[in-house]
Structure 1
Amino acid sequence: MTNLQALSRFYLTLVPFLAAAVALAIGHSKPQLYLPIWLVHALLMVIAVRHLGKNCLTSLDPQQRQRGAIALLVIIPWTFFTVFAGMGPPPTSIADWVATATEQQIRYALLIAGGISITAGFALLANQLRQSGEKTYGLLGLLAMGIALPLFILNMAYWGSFLVESFTHFSGVSMAKRPDWYLAMRALFTWISGVEVALFYLATAGFAQALQSIGWFKARACRLYLIFSLAGALLSVLPPFSIEPLVIATYLVSIPAFPFIMPYLMGLHLLNLANRTLPIVQ
């Protein structure tokens, strides 16, 4: 790996964590401010991916090129997810939801598109794993993702469409009390959210174990993925607790883009494999 490739990987590895830190620390900014910054950052990401994946994306080996395609499918969504750093977390009041309705619709539309892209990437990865002789963990991971994706789309549509329209209506009629149907829907989607988030984390655990089985992950890296994935799955389905650290942890692991951080890091790893002297598993 060249120094430029190492620098590119370091920068790309920091991307989701820096975006989350900015979003949580600064909150919502004006589009006139964050969109130009995001465009510059997106260009830097494209350049970094090009340098890191040069050996993989331009290889004459079809296995290497498919590995590059898999990586791109899970990395590209994060080029768009980073715009959430300027949008900040979802609003906490009806007035803010109504004022930022268009941004919220864009946020959840990008998440849906990103979830579909990442699932497609992992479907291709499951195929490569099967060709390499791994037929259990990759299949279980793909099954978990296949169940999670429709729930994820439904959940994101709830946040991006149903809530926006409901809050606009509530604001227009000045309701002091939420109708029963709204409370029932909110309870339902709390369950749906917990299940789909847990399934995405479990899918990541399955693919991490599969990648170790064929030698693309070292045992230590696999253990880290398993620990964080299983912890995320458990926290996402825990009932509400009054213990502050658990409340914060449950909130963080359930942020829609957060379950996609580990797949993103896996994508970087797949690009980086071509920069090493590891043999290609046939």
Structure 2
Amino acid sequence: MQASRYARNISQVYLTLVPFLGLIIAFASGHSSYKIYLPIWLLHACLMLLAAWVLGGHLSRGPDANKKRIAVIGLFLIGPWVLISIFAGIGPLPANAAAWVATATEQQIRYYILIIAGLIAAGGFMLLREYLKEAGESLYSRLGSTAVVVATPLFIINMAFWGSYLTESYRLFTASASANRPDWYLPVRALFESITIVEVALIYVATIAFAVSMRRTSLLKPAACTVYILVSLVGVVLCSLPGRGVPAPLAIASFAVSIPAIPFIMPYLMAINLLRRVGN
């Protein structure tokens, strides 16, 4: 019993550290060779899945139907960061068009991964919505699911823009001898910046709504719910700031909370909480 509790504690700590250490490694080490980061990521992904299984995911195959549903929801919401953790090796976005083109395949893979991660997260949210509805909370869970339904297609379109459209545009720019951008480039870029604001804000709003719903059904403690709400509210405010005309610290913070992987951190941490709770 003591060994099992120790293993679950280690699993929880390991899972909790993943997004934060992953971001630090990505920005500190930059881009690495796929021959190095791919095998490391595969091992890490297996360890993440093992940790999630030990923490409470194993109950997805248990006889208790209620615990089984919660465990499945937790595994779905952890899934996106199992994939996203590969970005610790791919590194942050290239600084210029030439560097982007030089790593074009990896940049496209980055956004394909994000699309898959977004779909997995949406599936997890929908399963959570059904569970909360049956538990007697329909208002906030419905608000959360509505935000997810609107945000998901916007997220997919936005990731397709960055992964495909922007990559091909950069190829054209680097192949051209002119340093000038076509007239259509900046308006299209501005359009997708607006789409980014909407879809990112909606993901944070969905997190807030689901956190409130989970507190009302006793899946979250009031203190934890408050933290999720406050952090997500900050995310909504910061991502809504205009890209120009704001002080540099706020512009940097706005960029940080709008990085595609960042809005999935709160649902990921909520999933760890669910797995811990169902495994107790």
User: TM-score under structure 1 normalisation?
Assistant: 0.95
Distance 1:157 1:142 in 2: 23
1:243 maps to amino acid? P
> Which residue of 259, 264, 282 corresponds with 2:263?
259
Check the 8 A contact 1:56/1:271 in 2, yes or no: no
1:22 maps to amino acid? I
CA RMSD of aligned residues (A): 1.2
Check the 8 A contact 1:109/1:160 in 2, yes or no: yes
1:46 matched residue in structure 2: 49
Question: Displacement of 1:54 after TM fit?
Answer: 4.9
Q: Which ranges of structure 2 fall in alignment gaps of 5 or more residues?
A: none
Q: Which runs of 4+ in 1 moved over 3 A?
A: none
3-state secondary structure, aligned to 2:184: helix
Distance 2:49 2:277 in 1: 18
Q: Deviations over 1:21-42 (max 9, x none)?
A: 1111111111112112212211
Check the 8 A contact 1:144/1:200 in 2, yes or no: yes
> Which stretch of the first structure deviates more once superposed, 102-111 or 265-274?
265-274
1:41 maps to amino acid? H
Q: Does 1:215 align with 2:218?
A: yes
1:154 matched residue in structure 2: 157
Check the 8 A contact 1:22/1:85 in 2, yes or no: yes
1:249 maps to amino acid? A
> Which residue of 162, 166, 181 corresponds with 1:163?
166
3-state secondary structure, aligned to 1:274: helix
3-state secondary structure, aligned to 2:279: coil
> Which residue of 86, 92, 99 corresponds with 1:83?
86
Question: Displacement of 1:55 after TM fit?
Answer: 5.3
3-state secondary structure, aligned to 1:215: coil
Distance 2:5 2:58 in 1: 11
Question: Displacement of 1:156 after TM fit?
Answer: 0.2
Check the 8 A contact 1:138/1:207 in 2, yes or no: yes
Q: Deviations over 1:193-236 (max 9, x none)?
A: 01100000000000000000011111110110000001101111
Q: Deviations over 1:88-130 (max 9, x none)?
A: 1111211111011000111000100110110111101000000
Q: Does 1:126 align with 2:162?
A: no
> Which stretch of the first structure deviates more once superposed, 144-153 or 50-59?
50-59
Q: Does 1:231 align with 2:234?
A: yes
1:177 matched residue in structure 2: 180
Q: Deviations over 1:160-207 (max 9, x none)?
A: 000100101111123311001111110100100011000000000000
Q: Deviations over 1:240-263 (max 9, x none)?
A: 344222122111100000000011
1:279 matched residue in structure 2: none
Q: Percent identity?
A: 48
Q: Does 1:27 align with 2:30?
A: yes
> Which residue of 97, 101, 114 corresponds with 1:98?
101
Q: Does 1:137 align with 2:136?
A: no
Check the 8 A contact 2:80/2:264 in 1, yes or no: no
Distance 2:86 2:93 in 1: 13
3-state secondary structure, aligned to 1:92: coil
2:256 maps to amino acid? L
Task: Quickly say closer, same or farther: Cα 1:54–1:73, change in 2 above 3 A.
Answer: closer
1:256 maps to amino acid? P
> Which residue of 95, 110, 114 corresponds with 2:113?
110
Check the 8 A contact 2:45/2:83 in 1, yes or no: yes
Q: Deviations over 1:55-110 (max 9, x none)?
A: 52232111211111111111122111111011111112111110110001110001
1:236 maps to amino acid? C
Distance 2:80 2:161 in 1: 20
Task: Quickly say closer, same or farther: Cα 1:54–1:79, change in 2 above 3 A.
Answer: closer
1:269 matched residue in structure 2: 273
1:150 maps to amino acid? P
Q: Which ranges of structure 1 fall in alignment gaps of 5 or more residues?
A: 277-282
Aligned length, in residue pairs: 276
Distance 2:109 2:215 in 1: 37
